[in-house]
Structure 1
């Protein structure tokens, strides 16, 4: 047992890698069962594996369907295990988690409204899972006896994993999604603008960009805390920043750019500003432009026969201008027109129309542009002439439409109470980072359904859990 506990992390990583290499569902199921056994061996390592699993979950699922619900099962059983332990010892501190009650109220309002609207039980449960499965990590982390060394072990291991994801993404970019990707992903029919973006193991450039942005913060904490390997950590941050730029994720760059600025002003940490600017500049010079150049050369060499090329096209020039054009075209007449016709503005206008008719508790979960409506038909789409598989990409309008003013008020109350918890925690720089992570989420909510993004919420709720711990020393 002690041997398993000592080597828990390598064993758990193998539990993910072996099923990915042996793509039979039975291997995924067996690996999941083995991982769940670590609940009685080493809970901390089992939490760590979630930071590996969720950022690459789409890839793991594609390679082996038996890994689809591994993360969900780990979280649920960890939560139930800790709940039973605390009840036996009668030492669960309920008052610590009072601030989370409004979020549960939001889910309850959405459920009641959905039942009134006529949504089936299965779609409601599907959406509740999307909202709550990672939310349980707040309680799990809050109750685990973590030490400072555990946190830095997580940071070191996830940094190594992030480097691997970045290298995989750069290969995807250079070879135009033709190698090291599942065949189904290679066959995706992407627009020319999206084909230039790195999708990564997350299968989504915006999700990947959110993950990389957080890892830049984490790399700074490591850089400042480690006595050795500072150069290696900084080199990793250069790689991460260069890869982040190649996702061309405008919303993420705006959200985390604002968060980084607030972090500098909040902590008055000039070293973070210098670190970030250095990583940005070198990432642009040493990763972004070289990868674009290599990608263009590969694209040109593969463009045979000649008539497949557009006359007067210049792949290198197109790639180089992609980043600047992504931002410059945000408010162009063409983009605004497209957005109004079928894009984000269309979703907002349609959402306001529905909200006016259901202002109190909304239409309910699984009714308007959430993850459940991508798998189950919404009962209101026919009435409001909404096309199937519409996704809001705006957390605010989704909350307003599905839960009305009451649900929106509940979420706002949770956010305010969470801010108070963060401020009162006394955890210094880490508290500031968690607050800035919340700010980034509030900004990103304008562009994404951030509450359904497992990669982001796993990290955010875990950080809130760390904040709740009084014994752990996180303050500088």
Structure 2
């Protein structure tokens, strides 16, 4: 506790603890009461402590899948915090509201993309509710950027964000170890405990985020947070705390067997280290990586084998999984055939097939492989022979952001999406001589690579961190008029 207070002032620490306690208590209340309690508390929290409430989203979004599984009454906390913090910004800027309508090129491109995709979707028979759902998915995390970029941040805000990310990573990592060693029998809701997983996925740690890829993304940003704090606290202070948790995070990161996040992390690390020539970071990562293999990866896998040998029941898989095996699956012929029949290659082929019929404006939001289609399906799937039972009766993500944009928004959408991406890069490039600018350039390229195998701009875990950091970058480089959102 002393360490936390040393880095996040005592009042903020108390707010985080009380907020987490309210969430935990709400899990045991009737759904309607939990909804009222969390709405009142977090509405007030976001209004009176907007900057800190946005940081609290790191904790909430990371554990939200577990919370919602236990009690759906807490599912609106994230949206409520974002909306109330937005209102708080409007209140702070009430004497100069026009300045809030100043947007960069990438923002205009995003707005036009949302309009184009929405109109196209409605014209092609997509449900209005599905279109709204898809637009919300794209816009909700952008609002974090909008609020933070136009707020005069406290000097310790970025440091507080890093510490909260680290502590969240510690909690999630410890839980992940328990999940792995207990063969998914401890500290999980029954629905998760008895969920049928494929042999490929059963060896992976799902954690509190409920998804191995989301867990890997959280730990990726947790590793970056530790490296940032190590740079701030040079010397012996907290040296062992940082080193131990860096090893822990990398170990669990490996055990997620998230190939896509591994690639993104490599792209980010290679670019950032080359641009900054900070070979000390590379040395730290190499040492922690070796330590994580020796102290986390092998012992945990041996532990899994031991608990199996004494009769602990769990997912029916052979072996605990391995790095080589996971990477080998990428180019395994059987896996490639599956991707062609019902996986990524299949989606790309179908996407271009649909694009050929809707070249200019696409088939519209909510029609192909996005968040909306997971809940609402698509009016064009039957026509193009796209099955709905690929994932046990659920519709699918395209697992490729670019094919989704090409298919749903056509040539116009591709141009607007390119302007959205390149507009952000232009802002970062202007600050390329600064460490923060180099960081954002590396993160931009890592995000770009992620788009080839994730619907990356729809993943809350990723976009939350991306837009929080992007907002801080914009605020600290004075991209907009900023307002004092005083913490009361």
Q: Does TM, scored on the shorter chain, surpass 0.5?
A: yes
Task: Give the match for residue 383 of structure 1.
Answer: 383
Pairwise CA RMSD of aligned residues?
Answer: 2.2
Aligned-residue offset at 1:151 = 1.3
Task: Give the match for residue 352 of structure 1.
Answer: 352
The whole-number CA distance in structure 2 between the counterparts of 1:61 and 1:285 is 36
Task: Give the match for residue 74 of structure 1.
Answer: 81
Is 1:207–2:214 an aligned residue pair? Answer: yes
Aligned-residue offset at 1:177 = 0.7
Q: Deviations over 1:249-273 (max 9, x none)?
A: 1111011111110111111111111
Aligned-residue offset at 1:92 = 2.7
Task: Give the match for residue 439 of structure 1.
Answer: 445
Is 1:398–2:404 an aligned residue pair? Answer: yes
Is 1:248–2:257 an aligned residue pair? Answer: yes
Aligned-residue offset at 1:248 = 0.4
Q: 1:5 to 1:151 in 2, by over 3 A?
A: closer
Aligned-residue offset at 1:196 = 0.6
Q: 1:185 to 1:309 in 2, by over 3 A?
A: closer
The secondary structure found in structure 1 opposite 2:93 is helix
Q: 1:412 aligns with which of 409, 418, 430?
A: 418
TM-score, normalised by the number of residues in structure 2: 0.90
Q: Deviations over 1:161-180 (max 9, x none)?
A: 11000010111111111110
Q: Which has the higher contact order (CA 8 A, sep 6+)?
A: 2
Q: 2:270 aligns with which of 261, 275, 295?
A: 261
TM-score, normalised by the number of residues in structure 1: 0.92
The whole-number CA distance in structure 1 between the counterparts of 2:434 and 2:288 is 24
Q: Deviations over 1:213-266 (max 9, x none)?
A: 121111101111114102211211110000010000111101111111011111
Contact (CA 8 Å) 1:223, 1:234: kept in 2 or not? no
Of residues 92-101 and 48-57 in structure 1, the stretch that sits farther from structure 2 once superposed is 92-101
Contact (CA 8 Å) 1:264, 1:270: kept in 2 or not? yes
The whole-number CA distance in structure 1 between the counterparts of 2:116 and 2:177 is 44
Of residues 17-26 and 406-415 in structure 1, the stretch that sits farther from structure 2 once superposed is 17-26
Task: Give the match for residue 362 of structure 2.
Answer: 362
Aligned-residue offset at 1:152 = 0.8
Q: 1:122 aligns with which of 118, 126, 129?
A: 129
Contact (CA 8 Å) 1:252, 1:444: kept in 2 or not? yes
The whole-number CA distance in structure 2 between the counterparts of 1:439 and 1:148 is 28
Is 1:461–2:462 an aligned residue pair? Answer: no
The whole-number CA distance in structure 1 between the counterparts of 2:432 and 2:324 is 40
Task: Give the match for residue 56 of structure 2.
Answer: 49
Is 1:448–2:454 an aligned residue pair? Answer: yes
Contact (CA 8 Å) 2:367, 2:380: kept in 1 or not? yes
Task: Give the match for residue 486 of structure 2.
Answer: none
Q: Deviations over 1:369-419 (max 9, x none)?
A: 111111113110111111121221111101110111111211111111111
The whole-number CA distance in structure 1 between the counterparts of 2:131 and 2:33 is 29
Q: Deviations over 1:87-121 (max 9, x none)?
A: 33447354453431101111111101101101111
Aligned-residue offset at 1:183 = 0.6
Aligned-residue offset at 1:368 = 0.5
Aligned runs of 1:183-194 on 2, under 5 Å?
Answer: 183-194=190-201
The secondary structure found in structure 2 opposite 1:375 is helix
Task: Give the match for residue 319 of structure 1.
Answer: 320
The whole-number CA distance in structure 1 between the counterparts of 2:271 and 2:76 is 37
Contact (CA 8 Å) 2:47, 2:84: kept in 1 or not? no
Aligned-residue offset at 1:132 = 0.8
Contact (CA 8 Å) 1:105, 1:410: kept in 2 or not? yes
User: Hey, which bits of structure 1, 4+ residues long, moved more than 4 A?
Assistant: 3-6, 21-25
Q: 1:103 aligns with which of 110, 115, 135?
A: 110
Task: Give the match for residue 236 of structure 1.
Answer: 245
Unaligned runs of 5+ in 2: 1-9, 389-394, 479-488
The whole-number CA distance in structure 2 between the counterparts of 1:367 and 1:67 is 29
The whole-number CA distance in structure 1 between the counterparts of 2:476 and 2:456 is 28
Q: Deviations over 1:407-437 (max 9, x none)?
A: 1211111111111111224682222222222
The whole-number CA distance in structure 1 between the counterparts of 2:111 and 2:22 is 33
The whole-number CA distance in structure 1 between the counterparts of 2:257 and 2:399 is 16
Q: Deviations over 1:434-473 (max 9, x none)?
A: 222221111111111111100110110111111112478x
Q: 1:77 to 1:93 in 2, by over 3 A?
A: closer
Aligned-residue offset at 1:86 = 1.4
Contact (CA 8 Å) 2:55, 2:161: kept in 1 or not? yes
Contact (CA 8 Å) 2:369, 2:396: kept in 1 or not? yes
Task: Give the match for residue 295 of structure 2.
Answer: 286
The secondary structure found in structure 1 opposite 2:106 is helix
Alignment: residue pair count? 462
Contact (CA 8 Å) 2:39, 2:77: kept in 1 or not? yes
Aligned-residue offset at 1:208 = 1.2
Aligned-residue offset at 1:360 = 1.1
